[in-house]
Every structure is written in C-alpha cells, then in structure tokens.
Chains A and B, each alone.
Chain A
Amino acid sequence: MSRAELLEHRAVISGIGQSAVGRRLNRSGIDLTVDSALEAIADAGLEVADIDGIATYPGAGGGPGGFAGPGTPEVQDAMRLRLNWHTGGIEGPAQMAAVINAAMAVATGLARHVLCYRTVTEASAQGGGGRGGIGAGVPQMGGTLQWSIPFKAYSAACWLAMNAQRHFHEFGTTREQLGAIPVNQRANAAINPKAVYRDPMSLEDYLAARIITTPFGLYDCDAPVDGSTAIIVSSADYAPDAPRPAARFEAVGTALRGRPSWDQFDDLTTMSARDAAASMWERTDLTPADVDIAELYDGFSFLTLCWLEALGFCGRGEGGPFVEGGRRIALDGDLPLNTHGGQLSAGRLHGFGHIHEAVLQLRGEAGARQVAGDPELAAVANGGGPIAGCMLLSRWR
C-alpha cells in the first residue's frame, strides 16, 4: 500500500471548540457540549446543517459520576442533526478513538463533516469531596474489576503506581525526575487563561505534597474539571475552504498487541502506549526528530513519561533522565510538552484537551504560550495503561 492511500490523509481537523472549563461550573453536560459544538462548527466555517456525522467517547452512562457526558442521541436531538453516520463507545484506542473513527468515516465517504466531542462534569459530580474509589460503593464486584477492587486497589492511581514502581526499579527513575513533568506543566498553565491551576509550583512543592499511593503524590494525579471539547473532522477536500488552517492527520496509531489488562500486560513499564506508538510510526516516513511539539496524555504524570519513551523521543527506560530538570520539555525547549498545562494543571478534559491544544499550536493561535518557530508537526497521545491511541498532526499546506 502506498502511503498516499492512507485513510487518514483523506480527513482533516477543520475546526475546534471548547466550553468554559472549571472546577465546578454546575452546568449540565449537554449544556457544555452545545457550547463547544457550536464554537467548533463556526470555527470550521460550517453551519449546523452541514454536520452529517457524530462521534464521542465514551457515550452515555457508565463510569463514575460526571465521567461519561451526554450520548450522541442527546446531542443529535438538541441540535436537530441529520446524520449519515454516528458512533459512541468506550472500547477502542483511548479517547481519540472517536476522532480516528470519524476520520475513517470521512475517508470511506460515510460522512463529510463529523462532530466529535468529549464532555466531563467530574468536578461538579464530586462536589466538595475528593475523588471516590472505583467500586467503593458497590456490594460486590464482577467483571475485570474483581481482580483489583477486593484488594482495595480502588483507583487507576493504585494500578498505575505499580507500573511506575516497576519503572523506578528497572531503570532507577526517581520522584525528582518524574516531578519535572508536573512542574513544567504548571509553568505552562500559568500563561493559559483557561487552566484551573495556575499558581507557581516548584519541584520542592511537588515533593512536599501528600502521598496518594507510592510513588505518586498529589501532583502526579490530574485535576477533575467540568468542560467540553469539540473537534470537527472533515473531508480533506474541504481543507482549502476552511477559514482557519486545517490540521492534517499524518498518521494514527491504534495497535494493542499485548494483553488488554492492567496487571497482565507483558511490560508494565510501557503498557499499550508501546503498541499504539509503534503502529503509528509504521504508517509514516516521519520520525520522532521531525516532531515540534508533544501533547501527551497525563491522567498521571507517569503516563506522559511512558509516552515519551513509547514514541521514541528517548530510549526505553530513559524517560527519567530525558525530563530531568525540565529544560528539554519547556515551552522553549527541544520538545515543548503539554503546552497548555495538560490535565495535571489545565484540567482533566480527558484526551480531547490535548488534541485541541495541538491544533491551536499548529495554527499559531495559542496566545502567550504559543511555541516559537511555527511548529508544523505535533505528536498527540491519549490514554495509557491498557488502552492507548496516538496521532501525528501537521499544519495543512
């Protein structure tokens, strides 16, 4: 197969939108979603009636309070969309599965302009309390969670902490190294007006924060927020007509070759990021050296470290030294990383925040945090643990 025939080259991101983002907006998920959708549709130079496809992650229901956001029927009906294609679901290459599915739908002609969205109201759902444990309120646990919850491993924090501990053990990674990721992101968030945590944070502040589950402290964990992000995926032939520079999908990564399990995956120190990244590079002649900026999922700081290694920005096990001190990953460093502050400081917009930021940066519209030198190629990654997806986005020329 010639690379020119890649399905992802037949689709572009033509528009982006985002609602207000906050710790407790006390607005419904559908209300926030309409905000982001209308902004994205206008940004793409389209009318609501032009939208003929819709895709979301994870779809209605499921998950802890505020996790799911509205399903596609609710959004379709509120906006009276007349759809040729629709999907929503949690199984796939992480949150960006919705965007990759949309690109496939556009490439195959099932739809021309697809509204993709991810909406969370986790901050409001949690009220004044902290994050509850998964399954903490149920009388009994079945399914895959029966293998972790009875042992009081109530959170992905506990599961992933064991991956991080194994990384520390195998490669000598330290908290001081890992802390460079949240510290860098707080600095980026300080100049992002929509970020929820903007106060300065030093490495000493990071190390002094309370321990959640070793080796993770408070600032290794992302910040639940309310907010909605929308992405319009359009046929590539629309790109010249889009009012803002479109973002082109150079390649997407969707593989899951290890076991789909938090504790049975063969290499705890990489997990499925390894597979998704490998499959992405198999679809392009571009290399990690061509990437100008990286927007890599950070539900936990350690996931970002995994992605840096998986994507080949450094060797396996070398993530700690790579980020140490933070110079390399700063806005003016060799590889500006999570330039909006990521989920750790800008807020847990669950993967779509990273896509949104990549498009802003490629367009040169990121304001005070705009990376200098006209970045042309962005690596974007979602997920980690047993589900992962990634993509290379470039500025349409």
Chain B
Amino acid sequence: MSDFRVLPRIDEDNEFFWTSGREGVLRFLGCDQCGYLIHPPAPVCPRCWSREVSPHPVSGRATLYSFTVNHQNWAPGAEEPYVIGMVVPVEQDDVRLTTNVIGIEPEAVSIGMELEVVFEDRDPVFLPLFRPVGER
C-alpha cells in the first residue's frame, strides 16, 4: 500500500514522460539529430539546436548522485522517513531526476549506488522510482 502523493498534472509536453511507465520503459525527450537527452522537456536541442525532438527510451539504469532521508512531516499521508534521491541515468551524465529510492533501508543508501527504475502505478501516471539493481 503506497502513501499519498501529489501527482504531476499531465499536459502536451510531459504526457509521454509520466505515462511511459505503463509499458515499463523510462523515456526522456531526445534530439533526433544528435541523440542528446533534453530534460526537463524543451522544444529544442540545446546541443545542436535541432527542433526535431521526440521521446527516446533509455535502459532505466542510473547512479545515485545524492539523496536525503526525510524525517519531517510536510504533508498529510506521507510515511516518514523516506528517501528522496537524485539519480543520473547511465546514458547521459548531465541529466538528473529527483525521485524516491525504495527497496532499501534508509541507513544503507549511499552516493554512487547503482539503481534501476521501477514504476509506481498511479494510473494514468506511472512514477519512476528507483531501487538497488537486482532487488525484488
């Protein structure tokens, strides 16, 4: 049983990102010319200035760049403590995702850990959370 979350508001720019997990795949917007991942989504590639951009599937593997174990009750329904993490996908080291690290005791979390995406079903939103590689 998962606890309460404020969910993202779906719009034309972010729909692919927040619903991609229905297929079990993480996607970032990417440049169709040079392959650069553009996050958060924007209608131009900041590397080659191409306007040809579309969702690009990635492996879902990531490295933990930083994290915090939150103990404070900021909102009703949250179950503290929980781990907020910032992860870097293995495909590109200048993209970060703020997320939750799950499937591990908060005391065991460390920067540099290898993680993989797991989606939390909040249909139609599928939230990309991350757990240690190989956890079930």
Contact = CB atoms under 8 A, between A and B. Distances in A.
A154 B74 contact: yes
B70 interface: yes
B58 to A, nearest CB: 16
A149 B14 CA distance: 15
B54 interface: no
Nearest to A139: B6
Interface stretch (A161-169, A232-240, A352-360): A161-169
A365 to B, nearest CB: 38
Interface of B: 5-9, 11, 14, 39-40, 65-76, 78, 82, 84-86, 94-100, 111, 125, 127, 129
B84 A212 contact: no
A395 B43 CA distance: 49
Nearest to A141: B6
A140 B100 contact: no
A144 interface: yes
17 contacts: A140-B7, A140-B9, A142-B8, A142-B9, A150-B5, A150-B7, A151-B98, A151-B127, A153-B70, A155-B74, A162-B68, A162-B85, A165-B66, A263-B98, A264-B39, A264-B94, A268-B65
A312 interface: no
Contacts of A132: 74-75
A134 to B, nearest CB: 8
Contact of B71 (A137, A138, A211): A211
Contact of A146 (B8, B85, B86): B8
A152 B82 contact: yes
A97 B84 CA distance: 31
Contacts of B94: 264, 266
Number of chain A interface residues as a range: 35 or more
B108 to A, nearest CB: 13
A125 interface: no
A157 interface: yes
Contacts of B7: 140-141, 150
B72 A169 contact: no
Given A152-B75, A152-B82, A213 B68 contact: yes
Most A CB atoms within 10 A — which of B8, B67, B71, B86? B86
A141 B9 contact: yes
Contact of B75 (A136, A148, A162, A165): A136
Contacts, number: 121
Interface of A: 130-133, 135-142, 144, 146-155, 157-159, 161-163, 165-166, 169, 210-216, 262-264, 266, 268
Given A211-B71, A213-B68, A263 B6 contact: no
A29 to B, nearest CB: 24
A306 B69 CA distance: 21
A142 B11 contact: yes
A141 B75 CA distance: 14
7 closest Cβ pairs, A-B complex: A133-B74, A136-B75, A154-B74, A161-B68, A140-B9, A142-B9, A146-B8
Given A135-B6, A142-B9, A169 B68 contact: no
Contact of A210 (B5, B71, B76): B71
Nearest to A143: B9
B71 A146 contact: no
Contact of B86 (A137, A211, A263): A263
B65 A212 contact: no
A132 B78 CA distance: 13
Nearest to A148: B98
Contacts of B76: 136
B6 A153 contact: no
A263 B74 CA distance: 20
Contacts of A139: 6
Given A136-B76, A169-B111, A214-B69, A162 B84 contact: yes
B106 to A, nearest CB: 8
Nearest to B127: A150
B6 A149 contact: yes
A323 B116 CA distance: 38
Most A CB atoms within 10 A — which of B65, B68, B69, B76? B68
A152 B5 contact: yes
B78 A162 contact: no
A289 to B, nearest CB: 33
